[in-house]
Amino acid sequence: MSKREDRTGRRRKGSWYGIALVALGASGAPLLAHHSFATYYMEQDTIEVEGDIVEFEYKNPHAWVYVAGQEPFGSRKTYAAEWASRAQLGRDGITKQTLRTGDSVRIWASPNRDPNDNRIRLKRIERRSDGFKWGQQNRRDSR
């Protein structure tokens, strides 16, 4: 009996299938993580949201800023603003301590293609309390 056969004389395929499955999954992961913003957001349009940060996720593949703001017709809505990667933000001087829960901010963003989806793509952000700004050219200005 060879090492590739079990006691019944059948070939063991499980280990090869497992290796192939892991390799396939690992190779496809980066493809799922990266996407064109234009697939989900109307890049040519810009909306403004003013409100308070309820959460800041400094993570990859993109950071997220959650802002509780007002909709145009008065009801409160929490927007999930997709930002850049940690590496890109780090180059711009943005750290996980840059934004805090409760910070009052104004953001400019591309709206979602699905009007029922609260996700938007952050293009620019300002915090008036200290003059912090990050803009479309990915430059931080903290006068």
Q: What is the pLDDT of residue 28?
A: 44
- Measured CA to CA, the distance from residue 12 to residue 108 in angstroms comes to 57
Specify the CATH superfamily of domain 37-135: Nucleic acid-binding proteins (2.40.50.140)
What are the beta bridge partners of residue 56?
Answer: 65
Q: What is the pLDDT of residue 24?
A: 43
- Measured CA to CA, the distance from residue 44 to residue 37 in angstroms comes to 11
pLDDT in tens, the chain (143 residues): 555 555 656 555 555 444 544 444 444 444 444 557 778 899 999 999 999 999 999 999 999 999 999 877 778 999 999 999 999 999 999 999 999 999 999 999 999 999 899 999 999 999 999 999 999 654 454 43
**To which H or E segment does residue 14 belong?**
helix 14-33
pTM over 0.75: no
Sequence spans of domains, the chain: 1-34, 37-135
Q: What is the pLDDT of residue 71?
A: 79
